[in-house]
Every structure is written in structure tokens, then in C-alpha cells.
């Protein structure tokens, strides 16, 4: 009888150990899945961030820039600072008489003078 009782206790202990082992394995699988999903999400975010940061498609001046334009022909001047979507400053002028728009080279000395004059005129108008 004692042997049967010991066997019964041993069987219960084995079943309990087996259940605890299965629970531990399940927890490990869940943790592994969570880590894997987090890692993949990070990879996707890094990839998207890299694409946006280096994308030239969001820049407005895709067809080159000019170094000069006659100030009297300028109807409107727009300055766009560099950003995550376009890594350089863009200066776009709308020309009078429907002659279109031009992108100006922000590094050109004459363009810097045009911007200074334009800003000065805008301040005096306001």
C-alpha cells in the first residue's frame, strides 16, 4: 500500500512538473514572439525613416537651380528651409506676367542679395 501511495505521489509530482514545464515553454514562446515582432517593427521603422530622409521626391526644385534672375521680374518669393523630406534649402520665385517659377541657388551671391532686398521690402510694406 505504501508503494502505491508513493507511486501516486510521484505521478502527481510528475504531472505537476510537466504542467509547469509546458507553462514555461508557452511563456518562452510568447516572449520569443514578442521580441521577434518588436525587432521586425524596428527594422520597418528604420527602413521607412531611411527612405523619407533620403527621398528627393519631396523636394520642389527637381530640375536644377538658376544663379540669377532680374529682381524686377519677381512677383513672389518663397523660402523653404531644409527638412527631413528635403535636405537642402529651396528658394522659389514666381515671375511676373505668368512666366512661371524658377528655383534659385541659395548659395549664389546675387540670390542672397535678392533675398535680403525682398525681406527688407516685405518688412517695410507691413
pTM: 0.51
Residue range 71-125, CATH number: 2.40.50.40
Strand order through the sheet with 90-95 = 74-80, 90-95, 101-104
* Burial degree of 107 (CB within 10 A; 0-12, 13-18, 19+): exposed
> Are 125 and 82 within 8 A, CB to CB?
no
- Give per-residue pLDDT as tens, 18-74: 677 777 778 777 877 777 677 666 666 655 443 333 444 588 888 888 988 888 899
Domain boundaries in the chain?
Answer: 1-54, 71-125
Q: Is 116 left (phi over 0), alpha (psi -120 to 50) or beta?
A: alpha
Amino acid at each position: 500500500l505504501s508503494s502505491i501511495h508513493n507511486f501516486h505521489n510521484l505521478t502527481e509530482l510528475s504531472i505537476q512538473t510537466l504542467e509547469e514545464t509546458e507553462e514555461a515553454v508557452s511563456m518562452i514562446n510568447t516572449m520569443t514572439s514578442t521580441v521577434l515582432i518588436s525587432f521586425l517593427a524596428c527594422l520597418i521603422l528604420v527602413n521607412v525613416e531611411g527612405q523619407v530622409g533620403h527621398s528627393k521626391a519631396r523636394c520642389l526644385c527637381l530640375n536644377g537651380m538658376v544663379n540669377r534672375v532680374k529682381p524686377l521680374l519677381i512677383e513672389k518669393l518663397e523660402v523653404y528651409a531644409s527638412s527631413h523630406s528635403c535636405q537642402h534649402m529651396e528658394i522659389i520665385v514666381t515671375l511676373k506676367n505668368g512666366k512661371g517659377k524658377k528655383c534659385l541657388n541659395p548659395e549664389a551671391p546675387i540670390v542672397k542679395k535678392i533675398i535680403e532686398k525682398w525681406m527688407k521690402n516685405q518688412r517695410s510694406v507691413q
